Amino acid sequence: MENKQSLVSMTKVGSGGFINQDEIIRQIGIKTGMVISDLGCGAGYFTIPMARIMHNTGKVYAVDVLSAALESVKSHAKLYGLLNVETMRANVEVVGGTKIAEGKSDLVVLANILFQCSDQNSLFTEAKRILAPGGKIVVIDWIPNNAALGPKFENCISEETAKKIAIENGLKVIKEISAGVTHYGFILEPV
């Protein structure tokens, strides 16, 4: 039997060590059989550990606009024998762009993507569109600061602004999550 460390912290690709991945995933409450959509998945920093925790049950949609990122996810999934990961190249800022069926996902993960988007409203609309009844959206992103860490200050979306955009898109904050000293995190559900 694998220990918790090997189940969750198997990849640090793209994290720079700034996020406590284990703690975030623990707070999300992943269960076997879930359908999870990781929008803007990058190299699979959350995708792969979530898929492993579910022990090849359910499905994790790894969605990104970059083919190279999706190839990394495919490689990691193959390495760990994960049959529950499906990669999908799509623009998550276009409503319907993911081609994931409406109401399909028990959990939608938006990690380190808000600062990269030019249209956060459409991102939240797409996340809400694919959310199953009773589903949740997890938001994790960089705290704006002037340090040399992370994206440029002017590109960061503050936690307050992210929550405001979510509320404007028919969502409400149901839980704050601890995401480390460089990131904020919270969980949303539809109003």
Q: Given the DSSP bridges, would you call strands 171-177 and 183-190 parallel, antiparallel or unpaired?
A: antiparallel
Residues 143-159 have pLDDT tens digits of 998 566 778 888 899 99
Kindly report whether the global pTM for this prediction surpasses the value 0.75. yes
DSSP string, 14-54: TTTT-S-HHHHHHHHT--TT-EEEEET-TTTTTHHHHHHHT
Closest CA to 112 of 182, 175, 60: 182
73 by DSSP, 3-state: which?
helix
β-sheet bridge partners, residue 108 = 37, 137
16-96+119-137: in CATH 3.30.9.10: no
Q: Where are the domains of the chain?
A: 16-96+119-137, 144-168
β-sheet bridge partners, residue 121 = none
Residues 79-136 have pLDDT tens digits of 999 999 999 999 999 999 999 999 999 999 999 999 999 999 999 999 999 999 999 9
